[in-house]
Every structure is written in C-alpha cells, then in structure tokens.
Amino acid sequence: MIDVSTLVQEVIDGNTDAVIGMGILKELKKQVEKGITAIEADAFAAADKYGAKTFEHGGYEVTLRDGSKRFNFKPVQEWSKAKQSITEIEAKYRAAWALADKGTKPVDAETGEVLDLPEVTYTKASISVIPI
C-alpha cells in the first residue's frame, strides 16, 4: 500500500517526479472511489442499525442524511423556451465581451446602445494524468 503523505513529501523534496506522483495519486483516487461505491450500501445498512442520524463509531462521527428531491425542468416547454432565450442572451454578451477585450466598444446592433458586459471569472488550470 502506498503512503500518500510519504509520496507527497517525496515529490516536494524532489525525489519523485511530480507528474508521476500526480499519476499515482489519480489512480489511488479512482481506487478509493470504486471502493467507496462497492461498500456504500453495506455501510448504510450497518449505520442504520444504530437508530440515530448522527453517532460516533470507531473514532468517526457518522451522519446519515436523507436523499433530496431534484427537479428536471427540461420536459416543461415554458422552461425550455426561457432557457433558449437565456442561451441567446449569453451568446450576445459573450460576443460583446470579446469585442471589448479587443478594444472595440460593444454596441447593440439593433438599438445602437452600448452593452453592459458580463462579469468574467477564470478557473484554475488543471492537469490530466492518465495511465497508458
């Protein structure tokens, strides 16, 4: 079994290649996720025997949560039309932002009014390491 703390320290110290270290950790993450999926039903069944939503067991605080409702509005025609309108508005303002980013004043083609610009945020860069 790999000691994650040791692997991380080895990468930090320069004794292990960082890309290889990332690959190993990604593989471990997959294995852990598969393991959790494999035993989750058994863990729920075992925890349910305690008769409480929150309890302590084996040095862990365990909390059982009920599932929640999720609504899918895609089959609702009114929602689909509104979503399409939003998609069109987003495209218009993305284009306006792109113009402003190039130094051109973004103007509405129909009204001639200067368009407000959307707030733009950036996600952090990522690295994909997949075993071959």
Per-residue pLDDT of the chain (132 residues; tens, 9 = 90+): 899 999 999 999 999 999 999 999 999 999 999 999 999 999 999 999 999 999 999 999 999 999 999 999 999 999 999 999 999 999 999 999 999 999 999 998 889 999 999 999 999 998 888 888
Instruction: Tell which phi-psi region holds residue 46, choosing left (phi > 0), alpha (psi between -120 and 50) or beta.
Output: alpha
pLDDT value of position 120: 95
pLDDT value of position 62: 94
- Per domain, the residue ranges of the chain are 4-63, 70-132
